[in-house]
A and B are shown apart, each in its own frame.
Chain A
């Protein structure tokens, strides 16, 4: 599933940031919220949260924009295209940010990935 931690091979020292940034998700992959993980509007705190087993994750505008488009049908590529258009931002930047965000959720089993 998610990438094994990068180990620096004999003689090739990876810079610290490269070691912690996994490659972006493939455009053809399809992220999905598994059963038991759902978006919820917290009316008391007036914010959106992602609810999961024993977890409450407060979402900022970017996280919400990504997760609103995660429906188990759209590909990661299509999600990024849509976000790039909606926010009028460079595609690579959006892809990197969305990928990092989703990767964190995948590692915590809050998002599943079908390829």
Chain B
């Protein structure tokens, strides 16, 4: 979220968070090979119940959270989604529903509308059934999505299309933008796949080439100018092809928090891949205390934890050393400089590896499996 300009929050007294992402469930009818859910998925019985979530929403609003993202898995897999939306609005939150569309009916959307959902963000796996159903690993998903998009437009709800781009569908970027316009989307997210969760497992199968990444950036800049005032384009460029990393979460523990289906509070959705971090649960602690004091949030908040070259780098308050989870995955140390950064001593090896992956034929996908 590009919100109040980020100023560093110190480890001792963080500023209030602006956004909370609620992973209501890990259940999802689709099996996208880049799903950001952890490889270890939470079972249905362990999920927080309606009252549990409603309490989290109230605490979040009291803490200063303004925007709530209802996500998953597929949030529509929760039968109480309508109640959850109503509870979030009651708490005073702006409610963004992040959905694949599967599991929504017109009737349910009408109920969600009545409950006060502010914005619908629909994922798009491809511009036609061939690509979309293949990536989601679900026959009929594309047709259903288009139907859902039509209902969203009918009801007058604002629609964002969320298109994850990778080596297989980058070629369809112009058609993706056209489709979003046709569907009446006010906004589109063109997000190059980020290599967390299942996407890390499928890196070679998803990695775009350097040319694809470059061409996408060019197309997006051009389209942004042309579509100004019609459709907003938010763009997540290819991480591995950039000179500097992105500021993951706008700085660890500075802007937002994630709550897992069972109520663990994470600084980012992939934080559980970092061994040794201690996460607190909403069952044991008030949310405000978790935000300020829990070891996981304190671990990489601010800049004190940094090593060289980050600690003496002039960009350290710009990108906060990149992504901690990526540093762990690629450098074996979560406090290291994100190897995506050209100043990391691991950068050259990483670039060689991904170039080789992107140039080699794509291996088969490992599909996300369903939680029990």
- Residues of A bordering B, CB below 8 Å: 1-2, 5, 34-38, 40, 42, 44-45, 49, 51, 53-58, 106-109
CA distance A108 to B230 in the complex (A): 8
Contacts A35-B157, A56-B4 known; A51 to B67 CB distance under 8 Å? yes
**B229: chain A residues within 8 A (beta carbon):** 1-2, 106-107, 109
CA distance A51 to B69 in the complex (A): 13
In the complex, which range does the number of interface residues on chain B fall in? 20 to 34
State which of B64, B119, B187, B230 has its C-beta within 8 Å of the C-beta of A42. Answer: B64
Among A5, A45, A106, A109, find the residue whose CB has the most chain B CB atoms closer than 10 A.
A109
- Residues of B bordering A, CB below 8 Å: 1-4, 16, 18, 62-64, 66-67, 92, 94, 96, 118-119, 121, 156-158, 160, 186-187, 225, 228-232, 234
**B63: chain A residues within 8 A (beta carbon):** 44
Q: Is the CB of B66 within 8 A of A56?
A: yes
Q: Is the CB of B18 within 8 A of A36?
A: no
Write 9 A-B pairs (CB below 8 A) sorted by A numbering: A34-B158, A44-B62, A51-B94, A51-B118, A53-B118, A54-B160, A56-B67, A58-B3, A109-B187
Number of A-B contacts (CB under 8 A): 72
**A44: chain B residues within 8 A (beta carbon):** 16, 62-64
CA distance A54 to B232 in the complex (A): 11
**B62: chain A residues within 8 A (beta carbon):** 44
| Residue of chain A at shortest CB distance from B94 | A51
Taking the nearest CB of chain A, how far is it from the CB of B230, in angstroms?
Answer: 6
Q: Is the CB of A107 within 8 A of B66?
A: no
Taking the nearest CB of chain A, how far is it from the CB of B144, in angstroms?
Answer: 22
Q: Is the CB of A56 within 8 A of B158?
A: no
Q: Is the CB of A56 within 8 A of B18?
A: yes
CA distance A51 to B89 in the complex (A): 13
Taking the nearest CB of chain A, how far is it from the CB of B338, in angstroms?
Answer: 24
CA distance A37 to B92 in the complex (A): 14
Among B2, B64, B94, B121, find the residue whose CB has the most chain A CB atoms closer than 10 A.
B94
CA distance A57 to B158 in the complex (A): 18
Taking the nearest CB of chain B, how far is it from the CB of A56, in angstroms?
Answer: 4
